[in-house]
Amino acid sequence: MWPLAPAWLLLHMWEHFAFDPSLTSWVSDVAYPLMKGLCEFYLDFLVVAPADVEPEQYIVTNPSMSPEHTIRNSLALTYGSTIDNSLLRDLFNHTAEFANMLGVDSDFASNLTSTMARLMPFRIGSLGQIQEYARDYDANEGFNHVSQLYPLFPSAQIDPRFNTILTDAAKVTLKQRGDSSNGEPTAWRADFFSRLLDGEKAYYYMQRLLQLYSYDNLWSINDIYQIDGNFGGASAVAEMILQSHNGEIHLLPAIPSSWTQGSIKGFRARGFTVDMTWSDGVLVSATLTSTSGTFARVRYAGNAIDITQRQGASRTLTPSDF
């Protein structure tokens, strides 16, 4: 049992809206009430860490765990695991944003924001890694799961474009955990390296996923068939070609050198649809069509430009625009 699993599940509702910001009535009727209810549960569940343990008196989950891992091969339960803190940051943040957007529950939303500020921040351990737990329990050994890097992917709290200290620590963590020996963790590694903007490493894990951990029909192997290797692998390929988190649409962010040319049509970015072609490893052109008239910062090869398009309007960009 993992009390934070519902947070991860409901965060998909935020993502659904982020990819299609025209869904405001669905947010108000379906997504927001569920997310609000879950936040109420967590506000009730969270406790203040005792001052002799955490002088800053952070607000933590307790009991807490990091999925399917144990601490030094014995216990699994502790307080304030990194994935718990990270999921709560996202859930409280996005639920407060929905409340603000809908113009409802302003006291509740500010409660979420102030609680969010008291969650334990990331900690970098003695090995230079992103700590998996509040205490520096991590050993320098391989393991399939890398739950402490949920904030790198699918969340975007660790972003190499904005925070090199956390990014470097995430790289140390991935080095410690090693290659993994199953489908879903291999797909997740491909996702991590896409987000680290390392196309060669992402490609390396995609090759492992397809060569070692896929049946002949391409279903993913996790000892037995398990769909998350397929979903994770598909998202890694998409994220090698196009990313759209933290307010930016990033064209060809992690394209491996062997993918010299290609094209996509109707790819969804958060708030935009993208058609794009590239050749000799460089962008030829990208056409962005706004799904809801929102602003976007578009990044290519180290430079970013800002565009705002009317809903349904398109704009074609070429390398000379950057």
Ligand X SMILES: *[C@@H]1O[C@H](CO)[C@@H](O)[C@H](O)[C@H]1NC(C)=O
Q: Which residues bind ligand X (CB under 6 A)?
A: 43, 93, 96-97, 100, 107-108, 111, 113
Both tokens assigned to 29 = 């009727």
Give the strand order in the sheet containing 272-279: 262-269, 272-279, 282-290, 314-317
Least distance between ligand X and beta carbon 322 (Å): 25
Residue showing tokens 């929905």: 98
108 vs 259 by CB, closer to ligand X = 108
Q: Which of residues 107 and 141 has its CB atom nearest to ligand X in the complex?
A: 107
Q: 148 is written with which tokens?
A: 């402490």
Of residues 39 and 206, the one with the C-beta less far from ligand X:
39
Q: What is the 3-state secondary structure (H, E, C) of 96-128?
A: HHHHHHHCCCHHHHHHHHHHHHCECCCCECCCC
Q: Which is nearer to ligand X, 10 or 202 (CB)?
A: 10
When the beta carbons of 20 and 97 are compared against ligand X, the nearer one is: 97
Question: What are the phi and psi torsion angles at 98 (to 5°)?
Answer: -65, -45
Compute the least distance from the CB of residue 40 to ligand X, in Å.
8
CB of 17 to ligand X, least distance (A): 14
Nearest-approach distance from CB 307 to ligand X, in angstroms = 20
Burial-class residue 196 by CB neighbours within 10 Å (0-12, 13-18, 19+): buried
User: Which residues does 117 contact at the CB level (< 8 Å), separation at least 6?
Assistant: none
Smallest separation (angstroms) from ligand X to the CB of 80:
16
Closer to ligand X by CB, 93 or 222: give it.
93
* Smallest gap from residue 270 Cβ to ligand X (A): 14
Task: Work out the number of other CB atoms within 10 angstroms of the CB of residue 81.
Answer: 29
Residue whose token pair is 């602003």: 295
Contact 229, 198 (CB under 8 A): no
